[in-house]
Amino acid sequence: MLVMGEVHTGLLQSSGEIPESACRDVLHLMSGETVRLSRRPMIYAVSPDLLTGVDCRLPSASRSRIRGVGTVVSHSSITGGRVVQGSSYARVERAETDRRLAWSHYLARPGVIEVLGKAKSSDLGDGFIGDPQPNGLDLGSISARFMDVVQSSPLLDRRAPFKVARTKVRWVAQPGDPAIRFTLNADQTRTIRIAHSGDFTPAVVDLCEDLALHDWLLTTLLLIVERARIGGRAGPEVVAKLAPAVDHLLHLWMPAARVDEALVPYWHGLEDRMRFTAQWERLVRRIRDQLTLNDAAMLRSARHP
Amino acid sequence: MTSVDATFGEVAAERRTASAPLSHVSIELGHLYMEDFEAGPERLRQQFRRVAPWAATVRTSWQDRVPGRRARVSTCFLIDDYFSRFSTPAELIPMVLEAAAECDLTIDYLARESACAVSDGVELAKLVEDRLVDDPSPDTNGSRPPVKETGWLCNGSRSPQVGSVQAMGKAQRWAPPVQNAKRGHSVFVDVELWDEHGGKRTWSCPFLAAVWQLLRLGLLRREGRLPVRPVPRDDAFPEDWESLPAIVQLNPAAAPFSAYTTLSVLSPRFLPVELAVRTILSQVAVDGDVLEQVAARSGGEGIKLEDELVDRISYVFT
According to DSSP, the residues that pair with A179 across neighbouring strands are A195
Query: Which residue on chain A is closest to B16 by alpha carbon?
Result: A34
What is the least distance, in Å, from the CA of B240 to any CA of chain A? 29
Q: Which helix (H) or strand (E) holds A191?
A: strand A189-196
Quick one: which of A31, A28, A32 has its CA closest to B225?
A32
For residue A123, what pLDDT band results from cuts at 50, 70 and 90?
very high
- Span B233-244, mean pLDDT? 90
CA distance readout (Å), B207 to A231, A304, B210: 67, 80, 5
| B133 lies within 8 A of chain A by CB | yes
What is the least distance, in Å, from the CA of A289 to any CA of chain B? 36
Length of chain A, in residues: 305
Helix (H/G/I), strand (E/B), else coil: A127: helix
Angle between helices B205-216 and B271-281 (to 10 degrees): 60
Q: What is the DSSP letter of B164?
A: -
CA distance A218 to A280: 6
Query: Average model confidence (pLDDT) for chain A?
Result: 92
Pairing of strands A179-184, A189-196: antiparallel
Are B26 and B263 a contacting pair, CB within 8 Å? yes
Are A167 and A35 a contacting pair, CB within 8 Å? no
pLDDT in tens, B267-289: 888 999 999 999 999 999 999 89
Chain B window 25-54: which residues touch A at a Cβ cutoff of 8 Å? Answer: none
What is the least distance, in Å, from the CA of A34 to any CA of chain B? 6
CB distance B141–A33 less than 8 Å? no
- Burial class of residue A305 in the structure, from the number of CB atoms within 10 Å of its CB (0-12 exposed, 13-18 middle, 19+ buried): exposed
| B17 lies within 8 A of chain A by CB | no
CB distance B12–A38 less than 8 Å? yes
| A30 lies within 8 A of chain B by CB | yes
Determine if residue A275 is left, alpha or beta; phi over 0 gives left, psi from -120 to 50 gives alpha, anything else beta: left
Q: What is the DSSP string of B44-103?
A: HHHHHHHHHHHHHHHHHHHHHHSGGG---EEEEEEE--SS---S-HHHHHHHHHHHHHHT
According to DSSP, the residues that pair with B191 across neighbouring strands are B153
CA distance B316 to A163: 63
User: How many residue pairs from chains A and B have C-beta atoms closer than 8 A?
Assistant: 117
For residue B5, what pLDDT band results from cuts at 50, 70 and 90?
low
Nearest to A31 among B130, B146, B307 (CB): B130
- Span B177-181, mean pLDDT? 93
What is the least distance, in Å, from the CA of A193 to any CA of chain B? 22
- Burial class of residue A101 in the structure, from the number of CB atoms within 10 Å of its CB (0-12 exposed, 13-18 middle, 19+ buried): middle
CA distance readout (Å), B117 to B75, B120, B122, B241: 21, 10, 8, 14
Nearest to A53 among B134, B183, B308 (CB): B134
Query: Average model confidence (pLDDT) for chain B?
Result: 90
Return the minimum-mean-pLDDT range out of A186-195, B1-10, B191-200, B239-248: B1-10
CA distance A303 to B65: 94
Helix (H/G/I), strand (E/B), else coil: A171: strand
What is the least distance, in Å, from the CA of B7 to any CA of chain A? 10
Chain A window 272-291: which residues touch B at a Cβ cutoff of 8 Å? Answer: none
User: Mutate which of A49, A103, A149, A170 to disrupt the B interface (most B C-beta within 10 Å)?
Assistant: A103
Query: Which residue on chain B is closest to A146 by alpha carbon?
Result: B145
pLDDT in tens, A40-86: 888 999 999 999 999 999 999 999 999 999 999 999 999 999 999 99
User: Mutate which of B17, B133, B215 to disrupt the A interface (most A C-beta within 10 Å)?
Assistant: B133
Q: What is the DSSP letter of A48?
A: P
CB distance B12–A37 less than 8 Å? yes
pLDDT in tens, A154-210: 999 999 999 998 999 999 999 999 999 999 987 778 999 999 998 999 999 999 999
More confident site: B317 or B120 = B317
Its ipTM equals 0.89
CA distance A143 to A133: 17
First-residue to last-residue Cα distance in chain A: 71
Domain spans of chain A, in order of start = 2-200, 218-303
B33-69: string of b/e by CB count within 10 Å (b at 16+)?
beebbeeeeeebeebbebbbebbeebbeebeeeeeee
Q: What is the DSSP string of B95-117?
A: HHHHHHHHTT----EEEEGGGGT
For residue A302, what pLDDT band results from cuts at 50, 70 and 90?
confident
CA distance B85 to B91: 13
CB atoms near residue A18 (< 10 Å): 22
Alpha helices in A71-202 (DSSP H): 103-107, 121-129, 139-151
The answer for residues whose C-beta is within 8 angstroms of residue A110's C-beta and 6 or more apart is A51, A71, A73, B285, B288
Q: Which helix (H) or strand (E) holds B162?
A: none
Q: What is the DSSP string of B234-296?
A: PSS--SSGGGS-SEEE--TTPPPSSEEEEEEEE-GGGHHHHHHHHHHHTTB---HHHHHHHHH
In this prediction, residue B8 carries a pLDDT of 64
| B147 lies within 8 A of chain A by CB | no
In this prediction, residue A247 carries a pLDDT of 86
| A6 lies within 8 A of chain B by CB | no
Quick one: which of B46, B30, B36 has its CA closest to B86?
B36
Nearest to A53 among B12, B136, B139 (CB): B136
CA distance B139 to B22: 40
| B300 lies within 8 A of chain A by CB | no
Q: What is the DSSP string of A32-47?
A: T-PPEEE-SSS-EEEP
Nearest to B223 among A33, A99, A139 (CB): A33
Q: What is the DSSP letter of A208?
A: H
pLDDT in tens, A247-288: 889 999 999 888 988 999 999 999 888 898 999 999 999 999
CA distance readout (Å), B166 to A175, B146, B170: 48, 21, 6
A157-190: string of b/e by CB count within 10 Å (b at 16+)?
eeebbbebebbbbbbbbbeeeeebebeeeeeebb
In this prediction, residue B226 carries a pLDDT of 93
Quick one: which of B281, B246, B305, B311 has its CA closest to B131?
B281
What is the least distance, in Å, from the CA of A19 to any CA of chain B? 16
CA distance A211 to A173: 14
Nearest to B142 among A103, A105, A141 (CB): A141
In this prediction, residue A128 carries a pLDDT of 94
